[in-house]
Structure 1
């Protein structure tokens, strides 16, 4: 009997971090970053750009009134993401924190800053960050797409292997409950639980990965 696996390549999930300072003036650049990301068949974990646009008032785009909710959504977006792209053209403690948080989770981060507007240089806090997970690059209007594309193209390819899995009504009931609670598909929920509750807690398996037996 053969087990046939179907390999399905995953879309890369990206969190885009940006400063809300001078948002009105730089919105078109930020929207372009979002468009470049989705054009690479990647998807944003949370679209804070659209959220900012919805908060537009008569005098232009204003700062998010609920900083706590904004911060919570950003953290959730980073947790869900495969990588982070952060525009640090303007000094921002929020963007700096998000970069540091993503690095602590060992997620690839591309930190970009404009050569044409803003500070035209990185803040000292970000510049002094040393991590193999952090890449830093400047950009212009003409090079923005190539800078982001190169980063996304060089990420490790992620894929899923599909096979039939027969479950009991009790398992189905549990997965349905999790789906209704989180809004995620049953398949995605099950994958996360296997990684979180099975793989990461199986000390024997983890030890075997660190110290593989010699053939």
Structure 2
């Protein structure tokens, strides 16, 4: 399973042990974990990038979220970018595990739309996470999307292209939302 790790680069110095511990736990379970954008990017280097470099970095991170099976984020350090990436993951229908330490629940959790794909865990230290994080990732993997391909007429294809541009969302997201709306209307359906 491909896991994309998201956390504040600016909070890495303060949370380095936790970030590395989380990534190590995820790797020990046999998952492919992408975390270099957090663990190896220094905030000074990021701040020194020109606009084109910042756009390239941002695109790589977004592509990483989209290419992953599950997103795991550590939100103990507030970050609008991390909040955006969590929202993006949920919009892409990715199971998303959110971790935090500290006494208070981070404000960002009150701003993210609730979803069955969003799994939240408060922890005290890395030792707390060894079993619970593995269990949470297993739960998240149970929620991974199933790929479903089918044939459509050129007319339907043209419509999907048009509606995709109008609504500024991928065709698959549009179709998924149509099906989800229909599922809500059908009271006899039990998942």
> TM-score, normalised on structure 1?
0.59
Query: For 1:39-58, what aligned pairs fall within 5 Å after superposition?
Result: 39-52=28-41, 55=42
What is the alpha-carbon distance in structure 1 between the residues aligned to residue 79 and residue 143 of structure 2?
A: 31
What is the alpha-carbon distance in structure 1 between the residues aligned to residue 109 and residue 134 of structure 2?
A: 22
- Following superposition, the deviation at residue 101 of structure 1 comes to 0.2
Structure 1 residue 36 and structure 2 residue 25: aligned? Answer: yes
Alignment correspondent of 2:98: 111
**Contact 2:65/2:89, CA 8 A, preserved across alignment:** yes
Structure 1 residue 135 and structure 2 residue 122: aligned? Answer: no
- Which stretches of structure 1, 4 residues or more, deviate above 3 A after TM superposition? none
- Following superposition, the deviation at residue 50 of structure 1 comes to 4.0
**Contact 2:6/2:71, CA 8 A, preserved across alignment:** yes
Larger Rg: 1
What is the alpha-carbon distance in structure 2 between the residues aligned to residue 148 and residue 94 of structure 1?
A: 23
Query: For 1:145-160, what aligned pairs fall within 5 Å after superposition?
Result: 145-154=130-139, 155-156=141-142
> TM-score, normalised on structure 2?
0.66
Flag structure 1 segments of 5+ consecutive residues without an equivalent.
1-11, 56-60, 159-194, 211-215
Query: For 1:1-215, what aligned pairs fall within 5 Å after superposition?
Result: 12-52=1-41, 55=42, 62=44, 64-65=46-47, 66=49, 67-115=54-102, 120-123=104-107, 125-128=108-111, 129-141=113-125, 142-154=127-139, 155-156=141-142, 199=149, 202-203=151-152
What is the alpha-carbon distance in structure 2 between the residues aligned to residue 22 and residue 101 of structure 1?
A: 21
- Following superposition, the deviation at residue 148 of structure 1 comes to 1.5
State the aligned residue count. 147
What is the alpha-carbon distance in structure 1 between the residues aligned to residue 143 and residue 28 of structure 2?
A: 17
What is the alpha-carbon distance in structure 2 between the residues aligned to residue 97 and residue 109 of structure 1?
A: 13
Flag structure 2 segments of 5+ consecutive residues without an equivalent.
154-171, 180-191
